[in-house]
């Protein structure tokens, strides 16, 4: 896999907010708590990790860009990362030399080229960054796109559901039914904030094409991720604050505070229609544009 990326990196900063919800599902189970939905123990608000949503974005890009050079996915299910690193050495060195020599950069120039090759050929490396300084060393990349943890707007209620199955695991137990449990959230609306740094995009060559693919992947990240526990997860709104410079025109937290999400009644929420989302557009800092998707 080789690709010469000649497009210019983005020159503007972006801050964004994602609103997504779950109905009768488990958006992000906690393996340390019997796969219960992740929760803030003090407030009861639901939590979804940044890693969870990045996985779905990777999966979407892998589907839609499967045949295109420069859009490989570095972190895939079952991938051996050192094998991914070897591709860079095989691309930059003669085949016999790459197979015989120790796979360490010869000097700073080759180290830079190895890291850049990984960024050029793997979308998630130039987007989210990666630590590739393992046994087969390709350096480290700090990605221009960063997510916070998602947090539910209101406290969630994690319901435990008992299930049965007709089939059994072992012979001789055919007359018995096996019991199991699954954990669901009847309904939860989650909010996650994110950031795109033009300064870091310049280092990884994260381009306008990459940025538009990111927005597309965010909007569609649950459409190809259905399962019994995530059957009804939906991205409800993506709000993007586009700055007119690499440094930006306003602090991110001031822009995020312009987005308010309020429940419209006192009953437990069971749908997105139970909330009102408002965006304060008055007195927007000069040079900041709001984009909704």
Q: What's the half-sphere exposure (Cβ side, CA atoms, 13 Å) at 75?
A: 16
User: Is-contact 127 214, C-beta < 8 A?
Assistant: yes
Measured distance CA(243)–CA(262) in Å, rounded: 27
pLDDT of 5-53, one tens digit each? 557 999 999 999 999 999 999 999 999 998 999 999 999 999 999 999 9
Query: Is-contact 159 242, C-beta < 8 A?
Result: no
Cβ–Cβ < 8 Å for 44, 155: yes
The whole-angstrom separation of Cα 138 and Cα 150 is 31
Name the H helices within the chain: 50-64, 81-92, 95-100, 108-121, 123-128, 198-204, 208-220, 252-256
CA distances from 222 to 27, 43, 48 (A): 10, 27, 14
CB hemisphere CA count around 77 (13 angstroms)? 4
Query: Binning pLDDT at 50, 70 and 90, where does residue 173 land?
Result: low
| pLDDT tens sequence across 114-167 | 999 999 999 999 999 999 998 899 999 999 999 999 999 999 999 888 888 777
pLDDT at position 126, please? Answer: 97
Answer yes or no: are the C-beta atoms of 209 and 7 closer than 8 Å. Answer: yes
Asked if pLDDT for residue 100 goes beyond 70, the answer is no
Query: ∠ CA(243), CA(252), CA(7), 5° rounding?
Result: 40
Q: What was the pLDDT predicted at 34? A: 87
Task: Give 60's pLDDT tier (boundaries 50, 70, 90).
Answer: very high
For residue 41, give every residue at least 6 positions away whose Cβ sits within 8 Å of its Cβ, in sequence order, or none: none
Q: What percentage of the chain's residues is helix, strand, coil (to nearest 5)?
A: 30, 35, 40
Collapsed DSSP state (helix, strand, coil) of residue 241: strand
Strand partners, 23: 187
d(CA 125, CA 70): 11
| Least confident stretch, 120-124, 170-174, 212-216, 225-229 | 170-174
Burial zone of 36 (CB within 10 Å; 0-12 exposed, 13-18 middle, 19+ buried) = middle
| Rg of the chain over all Cα atoms, to the nearest angstrom | 22
Q: Convert 106-139 to b/e letters by CB count within 10 Å (16 or more is b).
A: eeeeebebbbbbbbbbbbbbbbbbbebeeebbbb
pLDDT tens digits for range 228-247: 888 799 999 999 999 999 99
Instruction: Specify the higher pLDDT residue, 260 or 227.
Output: 260
* Percentage above 70 pLDDT, the chain: 93
Q: Is 265 exposed, middle or buried (0-12, 13-18, 19+ CB in 10 A)?
A: exposed
Look at residue 98 in the predicted model and tell me its pLDDT: 57
């Amino acid at each position: 896999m080789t690709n010469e990326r000649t497009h210019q990196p983005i020159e503007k900063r972006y801050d964004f907010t994602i609103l997504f919800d779950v109905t009768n599902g488990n958006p992000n189970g906690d393996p340390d708590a019997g796969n219960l939905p992740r929760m803030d123990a003090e407030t009861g608000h639901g939590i979804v990790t940044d890693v969870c949503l990045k996985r779905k974005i990777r999966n979407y890009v892998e589907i839609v860009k499967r045949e295109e050079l420069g859009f490989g996915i570095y972190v895939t299910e079952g991938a051996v990362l050192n094998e991914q690193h070897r591709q860079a050495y095989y691309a930059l060195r003669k085949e016999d030399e790459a197979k015989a020599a120790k796979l360490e950069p010869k000097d700073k120039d080759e180290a830079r080229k190895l890291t850049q090759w990984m960024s050029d050929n793997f979308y998630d490396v130039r987007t989210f960054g990666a630590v590739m300084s393992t046994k087969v060393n390709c350096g480290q990349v700090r990605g221009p796109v960063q997510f916070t943890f998602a947090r539910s707007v209101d406290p969630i209620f994690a319901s435990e559901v008992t299930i049965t199955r007709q089939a059994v695991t072992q012979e001789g137990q055919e007359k018995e039914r096996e019991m199991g449990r699954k954990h669901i959230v009847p309904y939860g609306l989650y909010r996650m904030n994110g950031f795109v740094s033009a300064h870091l995009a310049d280092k990884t060559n994260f381009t306008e094409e990459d940025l538009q693919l990111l927005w597309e992947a965010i909007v569609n990240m649950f459409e190809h991720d259905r399962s019994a526990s995530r059957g009804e997860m939906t991205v409800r709104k993506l709000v993007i604050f586009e700055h007119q410079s690499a440094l930006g025109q306003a602090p991110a937290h001031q822009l995020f505070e312009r987005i308010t999400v309020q429940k419209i009644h006192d009953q437990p929420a069971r749908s997105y229609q139970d909330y009102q989302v408002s965006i304060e557009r008055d007195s927007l800092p000069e040079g900041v544009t709001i984009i909704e998707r």
